[in-house]
Structure 1
Amino acid sequence: MSYPTAHTTTIENPRLRLLAKMKRGEYPLMTFMAIPSLRMAQIIALTGVDAIIIDCEHGNIGDDSMHNAVAAISALGVSPIIRIRGPAHDIIKRALDTGAHGIMVPQINNAEEARQIVQSSKFPPQGIRGQGSAFPAIGHGLTTPEYMISANETILTMIQIETRAGVDNVDAIAAVPGVDMVFIGPNDLAQSILGYVPARGDEPEFVTAVDKIIEAGRKHGKWVGRMVNNGAVAKEVRSRYDTVAITGDTKAIQNWYMAEFETARS
């Protein structure tokens, strides 16, 4: 079935900051949020970041905090993306019903898993997503009928490649219609193929895996992203990726305090 996607849509919604910048090739910047706090969401949203990935896989974030974070982030003109804890249909539905501008799905190993995610992410006839909430439209600044018309081609579906199986099958995964981005999770990828974390980054097998993921994304016209540890690395890899996520709230807080305490004690 051929249909418009985030890559080909002609719908322009200024609220969808991440999608708009991706389509213009502007290298938007993201970060992860793991601490369940509406105020934390607001603080991060006011830093100049383009999208905040609300981490419901590894973060301490339940349904209430997920809804509150999406509302706070979108109200400040930043794109809320939810990294869900798994690919189950009900989890995807619940995440999208917050009004998130996209989802990130971890540890996808093959094309069939990717197809199921796309099916759960889209309303009929392209998928099987159900409608019954007013909240999604609010997060997009739309009425419910407007949201229903636009959602299938404006919500970003991001697939994480971070296992050996995912790398082996990445060409088929990237070929799935409705997959908008392949996103590299470097720590889990290193653990899967090297047996340790973090990767130094120059291990031949790790480099080959990263290159294969990028190549598959480019071959099938999909955006490619990854997590990086700091702004210097984000700047260094800009020519290879369409977007990156620069660490997250917990690391940012720890890093600032440790640096300041070290200065104070020196």
Structure 2
Amino acid sequence: MSYTTPQTTTIQNSRLRLLNKIKANEFPLLTFMAIPSVRMAQIVALTGLDGIIIDCEHGNIGDDSMHNAVAAISALGVSPVIRIRGPAHDILKRALDTGAHGIMVPQINTAEEAQQIVASAKFPPQGVRGQGSAFPAIGHGLTTPEYMKSANETIITMIQIETRAGVENVDAICAVPGVDLVFIGPNDLAQSLLGYTPARGDEPEFVAAVDNIIAAARKHGKWAGRMVNNGTTAKEARERYDMVAVTGDTKAIQNWYMAEFEIARS
């Protein structure tokens, strides 16, 4: 099925910061949020980044916190993205009903799994998503009818490639219509390929896997992103990726305190 996607949409919505930035090739910067707090969401949203990935896979975030974070982040002009804990239809539907500007789905291994995600993420006729909530439209600054008309081609569907099977099937995964971005989870990918994490980054098998993922994305006209640890690696990633997520709230807090305490004790 061929249809308009976030890559090809002509819809203009100034609230969709991540979509607007990535379409303009402006290399949007994101981070992960694992702590369930409206105040944390607001604090991080005011740092100048373009999107926050609300981590419902590994973070301490339930449904209430997910809804509250999306509202707080979008109200400050930043794009909320939700990393759901798995590809189940009800989980994905629940995440989209917050008003998120994008979804990220971990550990996708086959094209069939990717097709299921796309179907769950889109309203008919492209998918099977149901409508029954006013919250999604609020998160996009639209009326419900306006949201219904625009959601299929403005919500960014991100697929994580972080397993050996995912790498082996990445060409078929990237060929799936409605998959907008493939996102590399380097730690899980290293664990799957090498048996340890984090990767040094120069292991031939790891390098080849990353190259294959990026090549498949480019071949099929999809965006590519990955997680990085700091601003230096984020800047280096600009040459190969369309966006990056720079660490997360828990690591950022720990890293700052550890560095400052080390200075204080020196």
* Partner SS for 1:173: helix
The count of aligned residue pairs is 266
Question: 1:18 is matched by which residue type in structure 2?
Answer: L
Question: 1:199 is matched by which residue type in structure 2?
Answer: A
**CA distance, structure 1, for counterparts of residue 62 and residue 229 of structure 2:** 25
Counterpart for residue 164 of structure 1: 164
Structure 1 residue 238 and structure 2 residue 241: aligned? no
Counterpart for residue 76 of structure 1: 76
Normalised TM-score (structure 2): 1.00
Structure 1 residue 19 and structure 2 residue 19: aligned? yes
**CA distance, structure 1, for counterparts of residue 215 and residue 51 of structure 2:** 24
1:201 to partner: Cα distance: 0.1
Q: How does 1:122-137 map to 2 (within 5 A)?
A: 122-137=122-137
**CA distance, structure 1, for counterparts of residue 101 and residue 27 of structure 2:** 17
Counterpart for residue 121 of structure 1: 121
Q: How does 1:45-84 map to 2 (within 5 A)?
A: 45-84=45-84
Q: How does 1:197-236 map to 2 (within 5 A)?
A: 197-236=197-236
Q: How does 1:25-36 map to 2 (within 5 A)?
A: 25-36=25-36
**CA distance, structure 1, for counterparts of residue 208 and residue 251 of structure 2:** 28
* Partner SS for 1:150: helix
Identity of aligned residues (%): 85
**CA distance, structure 2, for counterparts of residue 100 and residue 237 of structure 1:** 25
Long gaps (5+) in structure 1: none
Deviations 1:41-64, CA, capped at 9 Å, x for gaps: 000000001000000000000000
1:236 to partner: Cα distance: 1.0
**CA distance, structure 1, for counterparts of residue 200 and residue 147 of structure 2:** 44
Long gaps (5+) in structure 2: none
**CA distance, structure 2, for counterparts of residue 213 and residue 236 of structure 1:** 18
1:2 to partner: Cα distance: 1.2
Counterpart for residue 247 of structure 2: 247
Deviations 1:210-248, CA, capped at 9 Å, x for gaps: 000000000000000000000000001211000000000
1:112 to partner: Cα distance: 0.1
**CA distance, structure 2, for counterparts of residue 35 and residue 251 of structure 1:** 11
**CA distance, structure 2, for counterparts of residue 125 and residue 175 of structure 1:** 19
Normalised TM-score (structure 1): 1.00
**CA distance, structure 1, for counterparts of residue 3 and residue 213 of structure 2:** 24
**CA distance, structure 1, for counterparts of residue 240 and residue 167 of structure 2:** 17
